[in-house]
C-alpha cells in the first residue's frame, strides 16, 4: 500500500477519533468477555485438579459409597494386601464468621506413601506437632493462607458449627503448599469423625494400585454399594457435570463477541460510507479495486490487533471477577471447588486475540468489498450513490431471506450444538440484512404522521432517515442486532427460570422432605425410618427416593428409585411416552428416563436401555421420557421394588412426607427430627425447598446474568455509537439548516427526533427478532447442551426492554450532536467535510 | 496519420434506462482528437459531455463502439487494466475539484506520482516548482478546506499534470469559480498544457473558453457537431 494513500485513510480515521474508540470498544468488549470466560472456566477446572493432587497425592483409585464406608473395610482391605491405602473423612464445618471450611481427617502414617502436596511442602510440621496432632483432641493444621485470611494464629481455639452443634478445634501448626486450595483444616481421623459425628465411618479410602488385574480383582471383591473410581474419573466427572453449563457460558460469551462483531461491522461500514468520496477519487486517480480492498482490510487488521490486545488484557481483569462468580456457582450446584486463582495459559490468550482479530476481519469483509466496488463515476453522478444504496437494500433483503432460510435448514438438519449455534448466527445475520428494507415503509408512515401533527418540519426527521438510507440502514441493522441480543438473552434466562419454577412447584407436592443433614453427597437413611414416620398420627402418607450414581462406559449415570403413590407419580410430566399406561408400566418394572438422558444417548420412549447392576447388566424398556431440569448427564428412574431386586439396597436418600389437613407443620418437624438419633436429619417444607432450589438456580445463573449485562452494555454502546456517528457525519447538512434559519432548539428537536425514530424502529424490529433469538438460545443451550425443553412464552418486560434500551440510547446519542451543532457557527459547520 | 491521434472513437453508443425507458446519450459517434490539441466540448446540461469524458477515461463503459486512447483499445482492458491505464495516461480536472481533504496541497499533487511509482526527490522538486508556477507556494502544507475555490482548482490542475499524462480531461473546470478566477484558471491550464505538449479535452458551458480552443464541438441529440470559426 502506498504511504500517501495510507496517510489519507489514516487521517480520515483520526478525523473521527470517537468512532475509532467505539470500534475499539466493540472489539475489546467482545474479546474481553470470551477470554475472561475461557480463563474462568479453565482456572476452575485447573484449580479442581490441583486440589485433587494437593489432597490426594499419588492415589490412583478411590473407594467411595453414598453415605460413607464402615471403618472396618479399611482394615479388611489392608488384610487383603492393599497396604498402600489410606482412610479419609471429609466434611464441612462453619466457622464463627460464617465461613464454610472443609475438614479432612487423615491417618498420618498412611499418608506418607501418597505424598500429597501439602505434606511434602510442610517443613514446619515437625515431630512435636505430629505428636500433638495424634494425641490432642481437636488439634488441626491449616495452611498459612487460610490462617491469614481467617485471622487465626497457632494456639488459637477455633469454634465451629456442625449439624447444629458447636465444637472447638485448636490450631497447632501450619502446612505450606504452593497450591491454592479451599480453606481446609486437617485433623487426625478420630478428631474429624468426632467433630462431624461420623463415628466409625469413613468418607472414602484411597489406594495406590498400579496392576490392572489387582484393580479388577478388587472391583469384584467390593460389595455392590461401594464404588471404585480412578482419580482421573474425579476430574472427568467434574468435566462431564459442568460440560453443559460451560457450553451455556461459552455460547453466551460468543454471543457477546457476535454483538461486538456487529459493532465493528457497523463502524467499519460507516467509515467506508463516510469515505466513499475518498475512495471514488482514489479510484479515479488510478487505485485498483484490489488496492482499496487491501487498504480497508489492512485498517481492520490494525484495528483488530490493537483491540484484541487490549481485549485480552481486559479479559484477564474481567476473568478474575467472573472466576469468583463461577466458583460460587460450581460450589453451590456441582462440586466443592477450592479457592480458585486465575490460571493464565498463553494459548487461551492467543485464542481470544485470534478470535477478536478474526471477527474484526470477517466483520470488515463486506464493507471492504463495498469500498473496493466504489465506482469513480459516482463522483460525477452523485445521485447514483443513493440509487445504489436502495438497490443494495433490496439485495441485502434478498440475501437476508436466504440467510434465514439457510438458518432454518441448518437447525432442522443437525441435532448437535454447533449446528444450533450456526443457525442462531445465520438467523441473526438474516434479520440484520432484512432490517434496512423495513426502514423506508415505517418512515413513510412516520413522515405522514409528523406532517399531520407538526407540519413540514415534523415530516423532516423521517424524510431525512430515508434520504440517507446508505447510512441509516447500517445503523438500524446494528441497533436491531444489539437490542435483539439483550431481549433474546433475557427471554431465554427468564423462560428457563419460569420453566424450572413451574416444574418444581408441580413436583414438590409433598409437605415435608426429610434427609440426612450435611453437605455434598449425603448419607442414606435406613428404610425403617419411613415406617416410623408413617406411624405418626399427623402423617397421611410417606414416599421415598433413593439416589445412586453409577459409573458406566458411557459416562456417569444417576438412578432414582421411587416409592410413590399414584398421586405423586402424576406429578411427572412427559416429554414423550409409549401408549402403555405409565403407572402400570412403572409398577411392572419398566423405567422412565429424564429428557437429558434420552437426548444425550439418542433414546426414545419404547427403546431399551442397558444398565450395569450388581447382578450384571440388565436391559429395561423405557416407557416414558420425563421432564427434569437437574444438572448432570441424566437420570434413569424406576420403581423402588425393581431397584431393590437388582441392587439389594434398602436405604433411602429422601423421604417425602404428606400430612393430614390441619396438621401443625412446625410441631411435626420437631417430632420428625427426634425420630433419628444416629443420623442428624434435615427437614424442609416444600416452600423452603422451592426457595432453596430457586436460590441455587439463581446462583447458577449469576454468571449468565453478568454476561447478559455485558452484552447489554455492548449493545447500548452499539446503539449510541451508530446514531452518534450518523448525526456527527451530517454536520454540513445541519449547518445548512442553521444557516437557513433553524434555531438551535429546532435543530435539537430534529436531531433527537431522527435518532429516536431510528432507535424506535430498530427496537420494534428487535422485539420479534429478540423473541426468535430467545427461542433459538433455548433450543441451542437448553435443549441441545443440557437436554432440557423449556416452555417458551413471551414476557412483556423482556420485550419492552428492547425499545426502551434503543430509545434511551438514541436520546443519549442525539444530545451531543445537538449540543455541538447548537454551539457551532453555521459558517464553521458548512466548511466541514 | 494514425500516430497523430491520441483519441479515436468509432460507432460509439451510450444510453441509460430510466423509468423503464431507454434514453440515448450518445449515438453512432465517430471522432478523433489529435495529439497536442485543445478541444472544447459544448452542449446543454445533460447533453452527454461528461458521459463522453467518462467513456474516454474508462471510468464508464459504452454500450457499443470502439475507443482507443494513446494507442490502447480500452475495450480490450479489464477493470484493473483500465484503472492502470487511467493512472498513467490521463489527468482529471473537475468542477468540484475533488481534492482529498485529508491530504495537504503538496500531498495531493504528489499522489499521482506515488501511484505511478515515480515519486522521488526530483519529482518532488518538480511538484513544488509547479505549485510555485501556479501561485501556491507557501500553501503546500495547507489542507484543501482552507483554500479558496480558485486555489483548489489550481491544485487540481497541478495534480492532473504532475505525472505527465498524455491526455487531460477537464469537466466544467470553471463552473464553481467567479468570472475573473475562472479566466485565470483557464489561462493557466491552457499555457501549461501547451508548454508540455499535452492534449486537453474540456467540457464546458462557458463561451469564454472558445477563444483558447483549437477545435470546438457541440453535442446535440447524442451526436457531435464541429464548429467552424
Convert the pLDDT of each residue in B157-209 to its tens digit. 999 999 999 999 999 888 877 888 888 888 888 888 888 889 999 998 877 78
Is the predicted pLDDT of residue A313 greater than 90, yes or no? Answer: yes
For residue A375, list chain B residues with Cβ-Cβ distance below 8 A. Answer: 59
Q: Are B83 and A289 in contact (CB < 8 Å)?
A: yes
Grid cell digits, residue B143: 489542507
User: Who has greater pLDDT, A132 or B49?
Assistant: B49
A176 closest CA partner among A139, A202, A147 = A147
Establish if B107 touches chain A: CB-CB under 8 angstroms.
yes
The domain spans of chain A are: 1-38+244-381, 61-208, 382-509+688-833, 524-678
Neighbouring residues of B141: CB distance < 8 A, sequence distance ≥ 6: B104, B105, B106
B164 closest CA partner among B195, B204, B201 = B195
Is the predicted pLDDT of residue A605 greater than 50, yes or no? Answer: yes
Contact yes or no for A626/A574 (Cβ under 8 A): yes
The phi, psi pair for A576, rounded to 5°, reads -155, 155
Chain B residue closest to A3 (CA)? B114
Establish if A271 touches chain B: CB-CB under 8 angstroms.
no
- Give residue-wise pLDDT tens across range A152-204: 888 889 998 876 678 899 998 887 654 445 577 888 888 998 888 878 888 88
**Topology, domain B37-60+79-226:** Rossmann fold (3.40.50)
Strand partners, A94: A100, A161
A299 closest CA partner among A13, A693, A709 = A13
- For residue A759, give the 3-state DSSP assignment: helix
Is the predicted pLDDT of residue A687 greater than 80, yes or no? Answer: yes
For residue A377, list chain B residues with Cβ-Cβ distance below 8 A. Answer: 54, 59-60
Distances (CA, A) of A15 to A5, A732, B102: 15, 15, 9
Lowest mean pLDDT among A1-15, B73-87, B135-149: A1-15
Separation CA B175–CA B172 (nearest Å): 5
Q: Which of B101, B110, B142, B169 to mutate to test the interface with A (most CBs of A within 10 A)?
A: B101
Establish if B102 touches chain A: CB-CB under 8 angstroms.
yes
Q: Cite the DSSP H helix spans in chain B.
A: 49-57, 79-89, 105-115, 121-133, 149-161, 179-196
Separation CA A813–CA A715 (nearest Å): 13
Which pLDDT belongs to residue B9? 93
Contact yes or no for B162/B126 (Cβ under 8 A): yes
Q: How confident is the model at residue A828 (pLDDT cuts 50, 70, 90)?
A: low
Separation CA A636–CA A638 (nearest Å): 7
Q: Cite the DSSP H helix spans in B5-120.
A: 49-57, 79-89, 105-115
Which pLDDT belongs to residue A382? 46
Q: Which of A8, A285, A372, A373 to mutate to test the interface with B (most CBs of B within 10 A)?
A: A285
Q: Are A377 and B111 in contact (CB < 8 Å)?
A: no
Query: Residue A144's CB: how many other CB atoms inside 10 A?
Result: 13
CB-nearest partner of B107 from A7, A287, A377: A7
Give helix then strand counts, H and E, for chain B.
Answer: 6, 10
Lowest mean pLDDT among A330-334, A412-416, A532-536, B5-9: A330-334
Separation CA A228–CA A56 (nearest Å): 15
Query: What ipTM was assigned to the predicted interfaces of this complex?
Result: 0.82
Lowest mean pLDDT among A118-127, A279-288, A643-652, A801-810: A118-127
Instruction: Indicate if the alpha-carbon torsion angle A515, A519, A524, A525 is positive or negative.
Output: negative
Which pairs with CB-CB distance under 8 Å and at least 24 residues apart come from A141-144?
A: A141/A171, A141/A172, A141/A173, A141/A174, A141/A175, A141/A185, A141/A186, A141/A187, A142/A171, A142/A174, A142/A175, A142/A183, A142/A184, A142/A185, A142/A186, A143/A118, A143/A174, A143/A175, A143/A176, A143/A177, A143/A181, A143/A184, A144/A174, A144/A176
Separation CA A331–CA A392 (nearest Å): 52
- For residue B166, give the 3-state DSSP assignment: coil
Which pLDDT belongs to residue A542? 92
Strand partners, A310: none
- Give residue-wise pLDDT tens across range A505-525: 888 888 999 987 755 556 678
Strand partners, A549: A558
User: Who has greater pLDDT, A791 or A63?
Assistant: A63
What SS3 string covers A628-697?
Answer: CCCCCCCEEEEEHHHHHHHHCCCCECEEEEEECCCCCHHHHHHHHHCCCCCCCEEEEEHHHHHHHHHHHH
User: Who has greater pLDDT, A417 or A624?
Assistant: A624
CB-facing half-sphere around the CA of A232: CA atoms within 13 A: 1
The phi, psi pair for A489, rounded to 5°, reads -65, -45
Amino acid at each position: 500500500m502506498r504511504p500517501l494513500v495510507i496517510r489519507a485513510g489514516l487521517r480520515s480515521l483520526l478525523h473521527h477519533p470517537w468512532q475509532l474508540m467505539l470500534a475499539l470498544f466493540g472489539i475489546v468488549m467482545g474479546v474481553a468477555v470470551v477470554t475472561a470466560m475461557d480463563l474462568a472456566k479453565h482456572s476452575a477446572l485447573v484449580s479442581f485438579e490441583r486440589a485433587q493432587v494437593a489432597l490426594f497425592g499419588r492415589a490412583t483409585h478411590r473407594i467411595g459409597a453414598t453415605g460413607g464406608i464402615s471403618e472396618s473395610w479399611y482394615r479388611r482391605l489392608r488384610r487383603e494386601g492393599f497396604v498402600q491405602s489410606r482412610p479419609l473423612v471429609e466434611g464441612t464445618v462453619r466457622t464463627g464468621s460464617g465461613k464454610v471450611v472443609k475438614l479432612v481427617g487423615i491417618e498420618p502414617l498412611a499418608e506418607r506413601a501418597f505424598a500429597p502436596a501439602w505434606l511434602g511442602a510442610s517443613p514446619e510440621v515437625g515431630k512435636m506437632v505430629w505428636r500433638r496432632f495424634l494425641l490432642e483432641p481437636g488439634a488441626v493444621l491449616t495452611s498459612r493462607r487460610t490462617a491469614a485470611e481467617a485471622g487465626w494464629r497457632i494456639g488459637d481455639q477455633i469454634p465451629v458449627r456442625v449439624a447444629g452443634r458447636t465444637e472447638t478445634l485448636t490450631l497447632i501448626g501450619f502446612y505450606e503448599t504452593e497450591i491454592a486450595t479451599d480453606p481446609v483444616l486437617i485433623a487426625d481421623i478420630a478428631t474429624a469423625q468426632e467433630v462431624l459425628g461420623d463415628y466409625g465411618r469413613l468418607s472414602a479410602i484411597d489406594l495406590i494400585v498400579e496392576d490392572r488385574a489387582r484393580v479388577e480383582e478388587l472391583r469384584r471383591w467390593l460389595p455392590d454399594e461401594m464404588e471404585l473410581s480412578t482419580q482421573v474419573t474425579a476430574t472427568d466427572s467434574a468435566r462431564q457435570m459442568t460440560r453443559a453449563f460451560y457450553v451455556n457460558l461459552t455460547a453466551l460469551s460468543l454471543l457477546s463477541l457476535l454483538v461486538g462483531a456487529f459493532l465493528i461491522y457497523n463502524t467499519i461500514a460507516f467509515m467506508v460510507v463516510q469515505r466513499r468520496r475518498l475512495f471514488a477519487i482514489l479510484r479515479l486517480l488510478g487505485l485498483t479495486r484490489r488496492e482499496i480492498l487491501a487498504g480497508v482490510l489492512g485498517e481492520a487488521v490494525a484495528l483488530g490487533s490493537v483491540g484484541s490486545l487490549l481485549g485480552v488484557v481486559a479479559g484477564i481483569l474481567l476473568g478474575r471477577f467472573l472466576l469468583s462468580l463461577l466458583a460460587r456457582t460450581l460450589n453451590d450446584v456441582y462440586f466443592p471447588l477450592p479457592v480458585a486463582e486465575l490460571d493464565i495459559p498463553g494459548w487461551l490468550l492467543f485464542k481470544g486475540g485470534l478470535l477478536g482479530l478474526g471477527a474484526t476481519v470477517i466483520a470488515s469483509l463486506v464493507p471492504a468489498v463495498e469500498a473496493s466496488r466504489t465506482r469513480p463515476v459516482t463522483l460525477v453522478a452523485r445521485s447514483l450513490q443513493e440509487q445504489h444504496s436502495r438497490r443494495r437494500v433490496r439485495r441485502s433483503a434478498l440475501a437476508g431471506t436466504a440467510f434465514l432460510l439457510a438458518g432454518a435448514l441448518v437447525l432442522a438438519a443437525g441435532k448437535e450444538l454447533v449446528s444450533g449455534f450456526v443457525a442462531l448466527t445465520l438467523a441473526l445475520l438474516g434479520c440484520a440484512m432484512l432490517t434496512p428494507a423495513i426502514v423506508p415503509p415505517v418512515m413513510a408512515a412516520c413522515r405522514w404522521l409528523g406532517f399531520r401533527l407538526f407540519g413540514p418540519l415534523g415530516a423532516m426527521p423521517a424524510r431525512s432517515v430515508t434520504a440517507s438510507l446508505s447510512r441509516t440502514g447500517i445503523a438500524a441493522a446494528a441497533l436491531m442486532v444489539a437490542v435483539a441480543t439483550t431481549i433474546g438473552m433475557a427471554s431465554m434466562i427468564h423462560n428457563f427460570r419460569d420453566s424450572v419454577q413451574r416444574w418444581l412447584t408441580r413436583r414438590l407436592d409433598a409437605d415435608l422432605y426429610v434427609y440426612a443433614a450435611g453437605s455434598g453427597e449425603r448419607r442414606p437413611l435406613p428404610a425403617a425410618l419411613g415406617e416410623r414416620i408413617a406411624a405418626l398420627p399427623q402423617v397421611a402418607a410417606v414416599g421415598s427416593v433413593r439416589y445412586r450414581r453409577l459409573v458406566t462406559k458411557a459416562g456417569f449415570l444417576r438412578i432414582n428409585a421411587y416409592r410413590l403413590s399414584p398421586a405423586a407419580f402424576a406429578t411427572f410430566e412427559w416429554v414423550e411416552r409409549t401408549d402403555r399406561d405409565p403407572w402400570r408400566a412403572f409398577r411392572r418394572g419398566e423405567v422412565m428416563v429424564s429428557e437429558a438422558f434420552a437426548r444425550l444417548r439418542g433414546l426414545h420412549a419404547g427403546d431399551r436401555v442397558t444398565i450395569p447392576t450388581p447382578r450384571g447388566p440388565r436391559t429395561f424398556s423405557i416407557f416414558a421420557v420425563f421432564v427434569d431440569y437437574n444438572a448432570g448427564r441424566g437420570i434413569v428412574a424406576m420403581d423402588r421394588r425393581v431397584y431393590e431386586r437388582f441392587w439389594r439396597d434398602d436405604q433411602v436418600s429422601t423421604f417425602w412426607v404428606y400430612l393430614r389437613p390441619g396438621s401443625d407443620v412446625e410441631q411435626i418437624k420437631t417430632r420428625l427430627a427426634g425420630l433419628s438419633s444416629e443420623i442428624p436429619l434435615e427437614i424442609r417444607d416444600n416452600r423452603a425447598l422451592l426457595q432453596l432450589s430457586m436460590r441455587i438456580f439463581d446462583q447458577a445463573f449469576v454468571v449468565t446474568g453478568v454476561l447478559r449485562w455485558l452484552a447489554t452494555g455492548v449493545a447500548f454502546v452499539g446503539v449510541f455509537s451508530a446514531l452518534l456517528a450518523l448525526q456527527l457525519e451530517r454536520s454540513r447538512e445541519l449547518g445548512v439548516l442553521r444557516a437557513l434559519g433553524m434555531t438551535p432548539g429546532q435543530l435539537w428537536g430534529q436531531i433527537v427526533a431522527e435518532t429516536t425514530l431510528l432507535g424506535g424502529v430498530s427496537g420494534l424490529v428487535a422485539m420479534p427478532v429478540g423473541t426468535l433469538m430467545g427461542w433459538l438460545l433455548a433450543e441451542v443451550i437448553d435443549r441441545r447442551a443440557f437436554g432440557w425443553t423449556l416452555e417458551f412464552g413471551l414476557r412483556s418486560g423482556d420485550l419492552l426492554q428492547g425499545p426502551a434500551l434503543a430509545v434511551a440510547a438514541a436520546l443519549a446519542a442525539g444530545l451531543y450532536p445537538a449540543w455541538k451543532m447548537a454551539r457551532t457557527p453555521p459558517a464553521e459547520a458548512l466548511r466541514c467535510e | 496519420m494514425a500516430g497523430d491521434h491520441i483519441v479515436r472513437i468509432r460507432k460509439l453508443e451510450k444510453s441509460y434506462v430510466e423509468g423503464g425507458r431507454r434514453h440515448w446519450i450518445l449515438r453512432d459517434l465517430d471522432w478523433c482528437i489529435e495529439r497536442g490539441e485543445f478541444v472544447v466540448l459544448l452542449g446543454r446540461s445533460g447533453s452527454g459531455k461528461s458521459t463522453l469524458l467518462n467513456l474516454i477515461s474508462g471510468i464508464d463503459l459504452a454500450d457499443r463502439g470502439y475507443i482507443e486512447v494513446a494507442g490502447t483499445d480500452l475495450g480490450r482492458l479489464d477493470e484493473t487494466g483500465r484503472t492502470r491505464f487511467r493512472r498513467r495516461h490521463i489527468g482529471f480536472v473537475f468542477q468540484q475539484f475533488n481534492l482529498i481533504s485529508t491530504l495537504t496541497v503538496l500531498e495531493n499533487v504528489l499522489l499521482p506520482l506515488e501511484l505511478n511509482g515515480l515519486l522521488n526527490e526530483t519529482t518532488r522538486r518538480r511538484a513544488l516548482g509547479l505549485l510555485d508556477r501556479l501561485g501556491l507556494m507557501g500553501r503546500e502544507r495547507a489542507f484543501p478546506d482552507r483554500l479558496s475555490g480558485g486555489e483548489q482548482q489550481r491544485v487540481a490542475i497541478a495534480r492532473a499534470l504532475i505525472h505527465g499524462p498524455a491526455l487531460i480531461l477537464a469537466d466544467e473546470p470553471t463552473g464553481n469559480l467567479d468570472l475573473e478566477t475562472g479566466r485565470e484558471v483557464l489561462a493557466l491550464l491552457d499555457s501549461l498544457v501547451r508548454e508540455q505538449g499535452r492534449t486537453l479535452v474540456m467540457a464546458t458551458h462557458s463561451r469564454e473558453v472558445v477563444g483558447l480552443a483549437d477545435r470546438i464541438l457541440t453535442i446535440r441529440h447524442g451526436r457531435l457537431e464541429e464548429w467552424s470559426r
